[in-house]
Structure formats: structure tokens, C-alpha cells
Structure 1
Amino acid sequence: MASRTARRRVGNLPAERTSFVGRRQECVDVRQSLAQSRMVTLTGVGGVGKTRLALRVAAQLGRSFRDGGWLVELAEVHDDDLVAHTAAQALGIQDWSARGVEHVLADYVRDKEILVVLDNCEQVLDGCVKTCTALLDVAPELRILATSRQPLDVYGEHVVVVSTLPVPEPSEVGHLAGPDAGNGSSMRLFAERASAAGFQPAADQDRAVAQLCRELDGIPLAIELAAARTRFLSVEELLARLDDRFRLLAGNRSALPRHQTLRATMDWSYELCSAEERLLWSRMSVFAGGVDLAAVEQVCSGTGLARERIWELVAALVDKSILTREDAPTGTTRYRLLSTVREYGLSLLSEDERNRLRGLHRDHYLDLAERGARDWFGPDQLQWRARISAEHDNLRSALEFCAAQPGQVQEGLRIAGALWFYWTACGLIAEGRQWLDRLLALDATPTVPRATALWVCSWLASHQGDLARGRATAEGCSAVAEHLNDAVLAAFGLHLLGVDAMAEGHLEEASALTTRAWSRHRTHPKITSPMVMSLVQSGLVACLAGESDRATGYAEECLQITAAAGELWTRSWGLVVRGLASWMRGDAHDAVVHLRESIGIKSRFNDLFGLGMAAEVLAWSHVSLGEHERAARIFGVLDRLWPLVGVPLMGAQQLLDYRREAEGRAREALGEGAFGKLAAESAGLPLQQGLAAAVREKPRPAPRPAREQRRGPLTRREFQVAEAIAQGLSNKEIAAQLVISQRTAEAHVEHILTKLDFGSRTQIATWVAAGQDANA
């Protein structure tokens, strides 16, 4: 691993939230071990600081790895089959293939110089062994740094036992501000965490602090929990209470093992909480990962806990360091129990109480998933994407509960089916397929949840290229719909049979099925995204059949419907079809306009598969316009993007042929050397940055009338809205002036910002004014 300087930071390693105390020699030892072995596992008791040490070493080494350092958090993963999915998600891989996620991961890291931190492996050892073996076998420049309470026993693994922090003997005690190395590390940790709690130990308390750290065996988590109590108790009071606790546990303190020490510290912390705080601690242990206050209020209130008291009790547990607080990208505050603290809380619940709480937890996340599905077709998609992504661990936990409990499978099918938008729009095709296949195999009762799960499973399977499964589940949906006499589900059965027929190359059959599906969907009083996707599918089939005018008609209908709803994600697919149809009929200028808008939307969703589709057609359009350098840059980005997705261009041979022909023309025009250099420059940038740079370049404008030049890429109505913005009108005032709904006005503003690549209304106003000056 050669040292490199001035290298851009790559990876997802989190910034440290608190100071890192001690462990200097341990950091050196772990770095040396990684230099000698491709896999190093840090082992030790819970709370000893394995994760902090691993992250500190990874941060120190991150720039030494060309492709960065990446954290894979496994604390909330309890299914061995989900280890690879979790690793893929952490690395940004959106797997649409049916090859098995281990194979996709292996292909992705094959040529990478990368450090992967696998944190908290102990409860999914078999899954970790399988994943580590798959990666180490193919990637010679990959290093794995794992944390676990026991070794993984992977071939070539080097094990480093993480010890507790050293504590000075009474004769060695100096001032707390002494060096951070050596025997004072545990005392310094206590001093720093106590200071954060608002308490400054005096110099004459050094011996008491040292004795407290010795009683806690130098376990960092136990010391931090004790330090948090200095808000309420003196060091001497803390020590007295700890002595009482340990005397109750064992007559011979010196014989007390460290895992008993941590348990005793937890017991002690628990007893220092009020009765209500204890109850909330145990009940919150049913959550996986972080949780927002609304979920805590919904699930944990009830007997013994009034709903209106929850927020005060949460604040109290944060003060006591039982809960950690974090700000989510959604703008909400979330709370998290450390895994060791959570395990303790779960141990306090009886089996009946745990199942009751997990049932309430399941109900909360079922409601969340179904609300997300209902509201997805509207202006709040990005907020829903962020919210559901933040709840990934809790949704997994709810699905696991449904799959493991007799009589709960139908609720699991409801959750997995409602999350269609999460599996597809957020690139979790493989994981969604795994949950659906598992739940469908557990209960064959012909119900609405089963039929819904069947069409969602068909959609995922067809996009993975598993056409047999796609057709079988679509037919299953149709059969259940007929049994229930449910017209909506019957339309979805037709739709997904059409998707499968298109993937098989039966375009005439696909066209008949998808158009019939849309004719039924469009009469429904509540249109949803998957319904409109049957219209998008009809347009794509028409493109492949060479019927570009009919495809354009389908795309325009999609754009009108989505604009009225303020919807973006389905709209972005309508724009792909619109751009493909324009390119196929020879109007590459028009194609570029629509594809750029689509890419702008899809970038905000991080819809990698959709970005690949839109960028492909954009590259072909630039080739048609003779803009081969721009095309080469986009092809370079695509070479970086498709390995993150797994299935280029849905595996459709006709589209793959278009790609091969367009790329061949660009290579011939530029020469292999120039083409390769431009492509490599784009491929060497972070994905979104490379794509933005490649797309940002404006194509040569096609001749247009003066009014059209001033409008740029905007439609007539969008330009009217832009002019109103330039006049200083609000969305409400724009709606009144143009006689449209406020939601439609908001959607137009969103589309204008995306098309012009602007971030504010002020930029729109400036753009309008500049255009008016130019055409005066």
C-alpha cells in the first residue's frame, strides 16, 4: 500500500463525534497487521472500543487506498443472507441483477484498492465469512478490518485482541491532564466525558477517579456511562454506589470477569434511572438502528408510560448517555441505543412483552410503508425517499418479525408490497426480491396483499432478467385478482405480463398487454406511480418496435399527468422515453433537452439504473450530433456506473446494439487514444461529479425562432411561470394568475430549476431578465 498525497477523500467513514483517547500503540499495531494481512479482526468484550479503534485506524489509512475506506455497519443485521446486501448498499451498489449479490460485490471490488470495515460481525458470522471469502478471493488490493466478539475464522485472518484501557495503580496516579498514552488513558477518558457532562474533577479526586476506573476494569463504555452520571453524583458517590453493586454480585471482586463488569455497570445505570426511564429504555430496545420521536411515542407509550411524557424521558436518557442523539438528513432528530445498551434493554423484556412491542413496532412501520406508497405519486417524493431510507433497519426488523411469527406473513406481504417504490426507486431490487420470495413461500392464501406482492416481485424479477420468475409471479397476480374479482390487481397482472413479454422480445404481445393495463389504470380515481409506469412501458415498447411517434404520444401523456401531480420520479422515466423516441426519429437536439432534464431529476434520487438509461441515450444523441468528445465523457461515466447496477440497459439486446454502434462511431471519430483519455477522465471522478461534468456541457443549439431561443429548454407554460417568478410572484400568486392549482405551479417551478440546473428562484429571475435583454 504505497503512500499517496493530495488524494481526494473517497468512502463513507463517519467523522468522530467525540475525542479519541489513548490507543496509540494499538493503532500502530493494527496498521502493521493490515500491512501484513489482507484481513484483520479486532476482538474483545462488548464496550471495549473495537469500533472506535477500527474507525480511527481506517481514518488514518483512508487516503492510502485509491478507492477509499468504507464502513459496513452490521449491528442491526441478524440474517446472514443480508450481510452482502448491507455491504453492497454501503458501497453504493444498486444491484438489479439475479446473479447473487456476492457475485456483484466481487465483480465491483475486483480491481479496487479499498479498505472495508465490517463492524459488529458476531451475530452474522456465517454471512460475514461468506462475504469476506468472496471478496478476498478476487480482489488482491482489498483489505478487510472487522470487529467481532469472536474471530471469523476466515483463511488468512489475523486476530488482534483489543484490551481495556490501562488504569494506574494508586502509586502511579498523577494529574488527570497527563499524557493520553500509558496508564492514564482510562482516567483521561473519564475526565473528558465528565467535562462534556458539565463536571470538572478536581486534582485531589485523582485517586477516586483511578479507583472508579479500576472498578470498571477500564472498559470504555462503562467509564463513559459512569462519567455521564456526574451530572447528578460526585465521583465519591459514584464509587460508593459501584462498590455496593459489585458486592451484591460477587463476594470476590477480583474474580469478577469483564463481561460481568459491563453487565454490572448496566444494572447500576439502570437503577439510577427513574421507573419511567427504565421502562422506556427497555421498550426502545425493540427498535433497530435510529428512531424518531414519533415512532417512540407510538410504540412505547401505554401502560406505565403516558404519551405526553415520552419526549421528557427521551431527553433524560440522552442526558444519561443511554441514548445518543443524531440529526437525520430529513431534518428530524433521531435517537439510537448503542448495541450493547440495546442488548441489555432487550434482556429485561419477557418473551410475551417483547412480542407485544415488536407487534406494535411492526404496525408502525407497516403504516409508514403504506403511507409512503400512497403519497409517492406527488411532490414529496424526495422527502419520502429520505425518510424510508432512514428507517431501513427498522423495516428489515419488521419484515423479519413477520417472516418468523406464525400468522404474521400477510402483514409482511403488505410491508414488502408497499415498499415497491423503495426497492425500485432507491436501487434495492435484490433485497426487495429476497424479502418477497421468502414471504410468498410462507403463505399462499389468495389475498390482496399476496397479489400485490406478486406483481411487485414480478416487476423486480423481470428487471433482474429472471424472466421465468417474472412471468410466473405476474400470472399468479392475475389468478388471485380473478379469484378476488379485483379489477385493479387484474390491471397490474396485465401490466407485468407486458413487462415480461417486452423483456422476452415479444413486442406485439407486450404492446397489447401494457396498453390494456393503462386503459384500465387510467380510470382509477387514485392514480399511482406504478399505474403510470404501464404508460411509460407502452412508450418503451413502441420505441423498440420503431414506432417513435406513438412512443412520443405515450411520453407526453405521462409528462402531463406527472406535472399535474407535482411528481418527479415517474416523470423522469417519461423523459427517458421522450428522449429515446426523439433520438430514434432523428431529432437528437430534442432528445438532449429531455434527457438532461431526466438526469437532473434522477441525480436527486440517486436512481443509478435510471441515470444509466438516460445517460446512454444522451451519449447516443451526442454521437448523432457529431459531438463525440461529449459522448466519450459520458461513456466513461457509464463504464463506472453500470458495475454499480449490475444489468446494463436491462440486458435488452436491441438497446445493447445501439450502445455498441454509437460507441464504435465515437471511437472511430476520435481515435482510440483520444476516446480512452476522455472516458478515463470522467470515469476517474466521483460518479455524480463525473456525470454532472459530462452533462453540463451544452450542445450546439438547433436553429429556433427568437421566442424559442429565449425560452431555452422550457415549455411555453414553464416559461410563463419563469416570467411570473421574475415579477416576484409567489407560487400561490402564480397559480391565481395562470389559473392553475398551487401544486401544479410548484411542480412547474421544480421542473424549471431542474431543466436550467439552478438552485434558487433568483437565478430563474436573472435568467429571464438576461433573455429579455438579449432579445430586446
Structure 2
Amino acid sequence: MRKRVGNLPAERTSFVDRRQECVDVRQSLSSARMVTLTGVGGVGKTRLALRVAAQLGRSYRDGGWLVELAEVHDDDLVVHTVAQTLGIQDWSARGVEHVLADYVRDKEILVVLDNCEQVLDGCVKACAVLLDAAPELRILATSRQPLDVYGEHVVVVSTLPVPDGHPDGADAGNSVRLFAERASAAGFQPAAADGDAVAQLCRELDGIPLAIELAAARTRFLSVDELLARIGDRFQLLAGNRSALPRHQTLRATMDWSYELCSAEERLLWSRMSVFAGGVDLAAAEDVCGGSGLGAEAVLELMAALVDKSILTREPGPAGTTRYRLLATVREYGRSLLADDERTQLRKRHRDHYLALAERGAREWFGPDQLVWRARISAEHDNLRAALEFCATQPGQVQEGLRLAGALWFYWTACGLIAEGRKWLDRLLALDTTPTAPRATALWVCSWLASHQGDLERGRATAEGCSAVAEHLKDAGLAAFGLHLRGVDAMAEGHLEEASSLTTRAWSYHRTHPKITSPMVMSLVQSGLVACLRGETDRATAYAQECLQLTAKAGELWTRSWGLVVRGLASWMRGDADDAVVHLRASIGIKTRFNDLFGLGMAAEVLAWSHVSRGEHARAARLFGVLDRLWQLVGVPLMGAQQLLEYRSGAERRARAALGESTFGKLVAETANLSILEGLAAAIREKPQPPDAIRQPQRGPLTRREYQVAEAIAQGLSNKEIAARLVISQRTAEAHVEHILTKLDFGSRTQVAAWIAGRHEAAT
């Protein structure tokens, strides 16, 4: 893997010459640590910032990073967004500001904060954190007004010069050149005879790049003369609106003109699409925007029309899907067209759509499509925030917000958004204390997040709150979650007998449920961890094997990775470090696909201890280098559990003693400055195996044909289906199954599935 040195996007279209502006901004950044580009919306602040950042990015050791804030409307989320963009997983209970400051302290980095105007206070706070912590860090911000940060240097970005009767002039030609290039991309080649009309059009548009680009896109349907006639009439109409600022008059004129080019149904869809934050897929648009004068079946064609008119932009989504986005200015215009009651109803439909999506994701998480769900939910991050914000700010919507925040447990925990999830849950729980099922669910999810942050007081309080609401509702399922989370906190506090009783009681109820979910199985995982800490390694191994069998049957990965951690820890504790390494490496392989940073920390810790036990002290030292950096991001090593921390200290002392301080320090340094995934890869890299050894799992006592049958069993096929696949009789398939069960000494097909999964993990 190569070290990431920024996330600046590649330019999709040509950059019309702003040579002097680029020079001015670069010079400003050479003397000031923060530069803010201000100007009218649509003037090209973002494009100029990205061009300068691309020019300067290589001079910053840690690259240039774009932090997009257009979809952030809560000042408290600005620091979260900066941290997430820089790759920091915001798990720490000590505050994301402190984690961010620690991360950037030694960085040479250029941070581009884009669209700051709607979260000025949050941006001021984020800039203070960044600038105070990192002397080699620079900030380039875009905003419609200065941020008023101490030391800020403001550069006003002007509109493009327009022709004044001499369209061949180099500077004045920039607006004409922009129109010509964008019109050409739309399939229209301006002729020499169009020169005067194009120059007049650019003058009428005041040289605003966004307006010029929208006009150029319309050349698919209208000639330049027709555009000029329409634009002239519209500007004349708006010129009488003297109460508005000039820049608002101009931008409004551009949007009004685009609006006039749309049909009545296209206008209606445009206004309704404005309810979405960020991108949206077709299904969401049809669900939220259809109805009340707009048939859901017509949404696709109308969206295609809006794409053609450059109202909507099309972009790739996860897993080959397509997403659509309104530019921020276009979206704000659409919102202004909605009456208050209509906007509220649309926001309810928007919330209901994403609530249904989240609850479906929670139901289906314990299955083979986890990575698909991770990508899908991550793509909807801005819309989920918008839905939660609606619930937190509108009367009578808090219970639905608790449902949504609780259903997203898998997003908060498995996908590395612990701190943000905790923020929403704490906020919503404080707004409505009615003892309902959504509140109980939100309480146990909040307890889960708080305990992983090391906030054991909050974790215990919310777990007990869940138990109290469950008792009030007489809901045994919610009561089991209360037991489970009370057990998590008891384990972290060192009360192992209490923890064992609570988690095993929780699992004894969950295992009887007709539809088992990941959080239910995590009570089994927790029982295994507690058994390890009590020295009951055989019992812990049995719990781990039960988890692996359940997850193999379901085709599930994330919970399985935790079962492998328990299996690895139990093996290490009973002295079988070789077995521990196999299972822990398999766990790490899964967790990296989810970016489960806390889980990676747990697995890598036990793996490092196992390498020490095997005398592989150099490899352990490299892992400790990764872990030192990883736990800074997470905030609380090993959940703060004292017994686990003592195991860590003992293993590190042994490695230091075996290698010597100097060698140990050098090996730690080899991975300490790499990204987490790069460091893990460097620390656990083995000598290359022969290709056949990598591709082919060992068949054990099975023949080639029996192994094929076992793989089919693992895929959930019946004997009849196995016979059809392998072109054998059903009786022969049944005989193979019996031979497999006999050779492996298994009593069920589920055990065969788990055995196959283990073979594939070992081979990988």
C-alpha cells in the first residue's frame, strides 16, 4: 500500500485562466497560516482553492486535504468532519478536538475548508484547534464572509472580466473562453458570427462562472441569440429588486433563468429534491418526491431532464450504482420555492425513507451483505444527519429520531463513527424521556458506544436505564440487551463474576430468538471475553466456536471477526500462540474491510502478545508501533480494562528486554508513522507462499469430491441442490455428506460450514 498524501479531487473540466489569483493566494499562504477566499456564490472560490491546493500539495509532506462542509449545518460537527476527512476515527471520550490536535501536531499539511459560511462558529473552533496544535499546518478556506480568525488573511475572489467591446483581450476573453469551452462540451461550437452575442451574454451574466456554465449547458436546446434574449428579459425584471444585495440579485437571476427553462413537473421535482442533503439515489428520489401531483413512475425521466439541464449532477455511487446531486446554490434556490408546510411534509417523508433504510440495514446486517450495507449507509451519511437533525429540532419527532439513531448501531460501531453516534443519542435521549421501546434501544446503543470510549459511568447509567424501561414495558428482548450492556461495563470495571452472570443470561435469552442479529451474538462474544479474563479458556473457546458456527451459517463477517478475537485470546492464554496467530490474523483481515479501528486494536494487541510468546519480538515491536498510533485515535486502549492493560505491559516488557531498547525503538519507529493499514501490513507480512498454497485451502481428511460437497454445504445447498450442481445422483450426494460428517466427527451441517470458513480464512 502507498501512503495517502491527500484527497484533493482531480479536475474534471478545464480551468479557465486565473493566473494572477493563483499567484496572489500562493503568496498569501507563504506569509499567513490561514487564507480565506471570499466572494459571491458561484464565483469559483472552491475551484480556485483546489487549483492552488493542487499546485502546493507536493510541498506539504502530508499533502493537501479537502474538507467539504456544504452538507454540515451543525457547528459541533465541523471538528468531527475534519477528523473524519483526515482519516481519524473519532472514538475518544476525551473529545474529538483533543484527538484531532494530537493527530496533526507533527504534520506538514494543507487543509482546504470548503463552504464555511453556514457553520462559521464551528469553523472558527476547528481552525483554532488546527492552528494552535500544528505550526507547519496551513488552512485555505472558502466562505461567503470572512471567518474572523486571528491571523486570517482574506482574498476576495472577483468575477471573471467581461468583454467591453474588445473581446480579443486576454483578460476579458476569460469569460468568453469559459462559455466556449463549456458549450463545446455540451455539443455546441460557437461560430465566428456568434462572437458579439457571446460577449453580450457574458456581460449580462456579470462574469459569474456558475451562471456562464449554466448558460453554456443550455446550448443543447437554444441558440446563443435565444439565450441572450431570455437572459436579458429576466435580468431586467430582477433589476427592480433594490432591497437585495447585488450579488443576490445576480445569483437569483441565474437560478430564475434556469427555472424558467424547466417544465412544471421538472420545477416541482427540483424543489422537492432540495430536501436531500448531498447525493441521492433514484429509489430515494422516487420514494420521497413522488406523489401529490408527481407520479413516482415519472421521476426517472424528470431526473434525466434535470441532468441534461445541469440542474442535477450525476456521480458514481457504491457498487456500481448512480447517485444524483444538486449543487448547493441550486439546492438552496429549490428550497426557497417550498412553502413551510410543504417543506415540513417533505422532510418527514425524507426522514421516513432513511429510517426505513436504517432499520432494514439493522435487520440484514447479520448476513452476507454487510460490506454492501456499509458502502450504502456510508453514502447516505449527509442524509442521515439531515434526518436526525429534523427529529431533534421539530416538535413531536424525537421518538422517531431515537428509532433512527438506535437502528444505526451497526454504522456507529462497525464503521468507525462512535463519537458522532454518541452525540446524536445523547442529544435525542435528553429531549424525550418517555419510557418507550425506541428509547430503550437508544439507551443500550448509547451504553455500547460509551463503554468503548471508556466512559464507564455513562455506559452503566444508560444500560441500567435500558433495563428500567424494559421492565416498565415488560419486554424481555430489551431486558436482555440491558443485561448485556451492564455486563460490558462490569467487565471493563473488573467485576468479572457479575459480568459473566449478566452476559450469559443475556445470551441464554437471545439464542432462542427466531431472528438472531449481530448485537445478540455480541453478548455471546462478550461472554467469551469475560471467560478468558477469568481463566476459563475452554469455556471461552466453546463460546467462540459457537459464534463462528452461527456466523458461518449466516455468511456474516463482522461479528465473526470478534469471535476470532475471542478464540485467539483464549488460545494465547492457554499457551497455544500458534493457534492464536492464525485466528487473529483472520480477524484482522476481516476488520480492515470495515475500518473497524477499535476491533483492529483488540485483535492486533493479542497478535502482538502472541508473537512475543513465539519469540518473534521484532514483529511484535512493529505491531506495538502501529498500536501506539492506533490507540491515540481510538482514545482508550483495550476499553481501559486493567487486566488487558497488564497483559499488554508484560508483553511489551518482554519484547524490550529481548531486543534491547535501541533496537526495539527502531522497530517501533518503522511502523509508527505509517497509516494504520500500512503499518499492520508491514508488521504481519509473511514471506511469499507458493501460489497454490495461497489459493487452495487444505482439504484435511476429505477427498477432492468430498471437499467440493463440503463447500456446497457451507453455501447452504441442500442434498438435492448439491447433486444438481455436481451432476451426481442425490443418493450419492447424501453418501458424501455422511462420509464428511463421519471423517470430521461432526454432528451437523452447520459445523461443516464453520470448518470450511475456517479453512478459507487460514488460506487467506
Q: TM-score, normalised by structure 2?
A: 0.92
Corresponding residue number in structure 2 for 1:670: 659
Distance apart, 1:485 and its partner CA: 0.6
Is the contact made by 2:187 and 2:220 (CA closer than 8 Å) also made in structure 1?
A: yes
Stretch deviating more after TM superposition (39-48 or 364-373): 39-48
Corresponding residue of 1:495: 484
Residue pair 2:552, 2:757 contacting (<8 A) in 1 also:
no
Amino acid at match of 1:335: Y
Distance 2:702 2:352 in 1: 44
**Which one of 673, 680, 685 corresponds to residue 696 of structure 1?**
685
Q: Please give the alpha-carbon distance, in whole angstroms, between the structure 2 residues aligned to 1:698 and 1:54.
A: 45
Q: CA deviation at 1:173?
A: 3.0
Aligned to 1:416: 405
Number of the residue aligned with 2:728: none
- Cα distance between partner residues in 1 of 2:177 and 2:379: 35
Indicate conservation of the 8 Å contact 1:731/1:745, yes or no: no
The verdict on how the C-alpha distance between 1:638 and 1:275 changes in structure 2, with shifts beyond 3 A counting, is same
Deviation at 1:259, TM superposition (A): 2.4
Counterparts of 1:264 and 1:732, CA distance in 2: 63
8 Å contact 2:552–2:753 — kept in the other structure? no
Cα distance in 2 for partners of 1:721, 1:617 equals 35
For 2:381 and 2:752, how far apart are their aligned partners in 1?
33
Give 1:204 deviation, angstroms: 2.5
Give the letter aligned to residue 280 of structure 1.
Answer: L
Question: Quick one: structure 1 residues 643 and 313, their matched pair in 2 at CA, closer, same or farther if it must change by over 3 Å?
Answer: same
Structure 1 unpaired stretches of 5+: 1-6, 701-707, 758-776
Amino acid at match of 2:68: E
Deviation at 1:644, TM superposition (A): 2.5
Q: Which amino acid aligns with 1:474?
A: A
The residue correspondences of 1:104-115 to structure 2 (distance < 5 A) are 104-115=99-110
Which of 22, 25, 46 aligns to 2:17? It is 22
Residue 137 of structure 2 corresponds to residue 142 of structure 1: yes
Q: SS in structure 1 opposite 2:172?
A: helix
CA contact under 8 A between 1:94 and 1:645: conserved in structure 2?
Answer: yes
Find the counterpart in structure 1 of residue 73 from structure 2: 78
**Shift of the alpha carbon at 1:684?**
3.6
CA contact (8 A) 1:619 1:630 kept: yes
Q: Does 1:240 align with 2:235?
A: no
Mapped contact 2:695–2:763 kept (Cα < 8 A): no
Q: Residue 653 of structure 1 aligns to which amino acid in structure 2?
A: Q
Q: Is contact 1:721-1:748 (8 Å) kept?
A: no
Match of 2:608 in 1: 619
Q: C-alpha distance in 2, partners of 1:281/1:720?
A: 59
The 1:315/1:419 distance shift into structure 2, 3 A limit, reads: same
DSSP-derived class of the 2:17 partner: coil
Tell me which amino acid in the other structure corresponds to 1:405. Answer: Q
Q: Deviations over 1:96-139 (max 9, x none)?
A: 22112111111111111111111111111111111111221111
Alignment partner of 1:347 is 2:336: yes
Following superposition, the deviation at residue 745 of structure 1 comes to 9.4
Amino acid at match of 1:660: S
716 and 671 in structure 1: CA distance in 2 versus 1, 3 angstrom threshold: farther
Q: Write the letter of the residue equivalent to 2:457.
A: A
- Separation in 2 of the partners of 1:206 and 1:262? 24
Contact persistence 1:187–1:210 (CA under 8 A): yes
Find the counterpart in structure 2 of residue 168 from structure 1: 163
- Are the aligned partners of 1:632 and 1:666 in contact in 2 as well (CA < 8 Å)? yes
Indicate the residue corresponding to 1:600 in structure 2: 589
1:549 aligns with 538
1: CA distance between counterparts of 2:630 and 2:23?
Answer: 36
2:756 is aligned with 1:756: no
> One-letter code of the match for 2:84?
Q
Q: Which of 234, 243, 256 does residue 267 from structure 1 map onto?
A: 256
Deviation (angstroms), 1:421: 0.5
- Asked if 1:560 corresponds to 2:549, the answer is yes
Matched, 1:285 2:274: yes
**1:447-466 residue pairs with structure 2 within 5 A?**
447-466=436-455
Whole-angstrom distance in 2 between the partners of 1:566 and 1:642:
30
**Equivalent pairs: percent with the same residue?**
81
The question of whether the paired residues in 1 share the 8 Å contact of 2:278 and 2:325 is answered with yes
Residues 167-224 of structure 1 deviation map (CA, whole Å, 9 limit, x = unaligned): 22212436xxxx6xx2222111111111111111112322211211111111111111
Question: Given the alignment of the two structures, is residue 314 of structure 1 paired with residue 321 of structure 2, yes or no?
Answer: no
Contact 2:124 2:147 in 1 (8 A): yes
Contact 1:649–1:655, Cα closer than 8 Å, also in 2: yes
Q: Report how far residue 732 of structure 1 moved.
A: 5.5
Which of 13-22 and 583-592 deviates more?
13-22
Give the Cα–Cα distance (whole angstroms) in 2 for the partners of residues 503 and 620 of structure 1.
Answer: 20
Instruction: Rate the CA distance shift 1:183–1:750 in 2: closer, same or farther, 3 A.
Output: farther
SS of 1:324's partner is strand
The aligned residue for residue 400 of structure 1 is 389
Matched with 1:46 is 41
Distance 2:699 2:641 in 1: 32
Please give the residue correspondences for 1:570-581 in structure 2 after superposition, counting only pairs within 5 Å: 570-581=559-570
Instruction: For residue 725 of structure 1, report the CA deviation from its aligned partner.
Output: 9.9
* SS of residue matched to 2:319: coil
Is the alpha carbon distance of 1:715 and 1:455 closer, same or farther for their aligned partners in structure 2, counting shifts above 3 Å? Answer: farther
Structure 1 pair 383–500 and aligned structure 2 pair: CA distance change class (3 A)? same
Q: Which amino acid aligns with 2:195?
A: D
Aligned to 1:126: 121
Q: Structure 2: how far apart are the matches of 1:711 and 1:298?
A: 46
Shift in CA distance, 541/251, structure 1 to aligned 2, threshold 3 Å: closer
Which whole-Å CA distance do the structure 2 matches of 1:347 and 1:676 have between them?
A: 60
C-alpha distance in 1 between matches for 2:704 and 2:533: 33
Range moving further from structure 2, 515-524 or 9-18: 9-18
Would the aligned equivalents of 1:317 and 1:323 in 2 still touch at CA under 8 Å?
yes
- Cα distance per residue 1:429-473 (max 9 Å; x no partner): 111111011111111111110110011011111111111111111
In structure 2, the partner of 1:88 is: 83
CA 1:252 to 1:604, structure 2 compared with 1: closer, same or farther past 3 Å? closer
Shift of the 279–589 alpha-carbon distance from structure 1 to 2, 3 Å rule, reads same
Provide, for residues 685-721 of structure 1, a one-character-per-residue CA deviation record: whole Å limited to 9, x for no partner.
3332331232231699xxxxxxx99997888799988
Counterpart Cα distance in 2 of 1:79 and 1:714: 56
The one-letter code matched in structure 1 to 2:69 is L
Question: How big is the shift at 1:599?
Answer: 0.5
Which region of structure 1 is more displaced relative to structure 2, 573-582 or 324-333?
A: 324-333
Contact 1:718 1:752 in 2 (8 A): no
CA distance in 1, matches of 2:750, 2:63: 43
**Deviates most, 729-738 or 351-360:** 729-738
**Aligned position for 1:484:** 473
Deviates more, 1:738-747 or 1:405-414: 738-747
Q: Is the 8 A contact 2:711 2:756 kept in 1?
A: no
CA deviation profile, 1:467-516 (whole Å, cap 9, x unmatched): 11111111111111111110000101111110111111111111110011
Using the alignment, how far apart are the partners of 2:477 and 2:407 within structure 1? 15
Question: Separation in 1 of the partners of 2:9 and 2:411?
Answer: 24
Distance 1:730 1:549, change over 3 A: closer
Distance in 1 between residues matched to 2:680 and 2:35, nearest whole Å: 36
Separation (CA, whole Å) in 1 of partners of 2:561 and 2:552: 11
Deviations 1:569-609 (A, max 9, x none): 00000101110111111100000000010011001111111
User: 3-state SS of the aligned residue for 2:132?
Assistant: helix
Count, aligned residues:
736
- Secondary structure at the counterpart of residue 593 of structure 1: helix
1:310 maps to a residue whose letter is V
| Residues 614-644 of structure 1, C-alpha deviations (whole Å, 9 max, x = no match) | 1111111111111112212222222332222
3-state SS of paired residue (2:11): coil
In structure 1, C-alpha distance between the alignment counterparts of 2:675 and 2:494, rounded to whole Å: 35
Q: Please, which runs of 5 or more residues in structure 2 have no aligned partner?
A: 723-732, 741-747
Matched-pair contact (CA < 8 Å) for 1:721–1:745: no
Note if contact 2:715-2:753 (Cα within 8 Å) is conserved in structure 1: no
Structure 1 position 366, deviation (Å):
0.4
Alignment of 1:423-438 (within 5 A): 423-438=412-427
Give 1:67's aligned residue.
Answer: 62
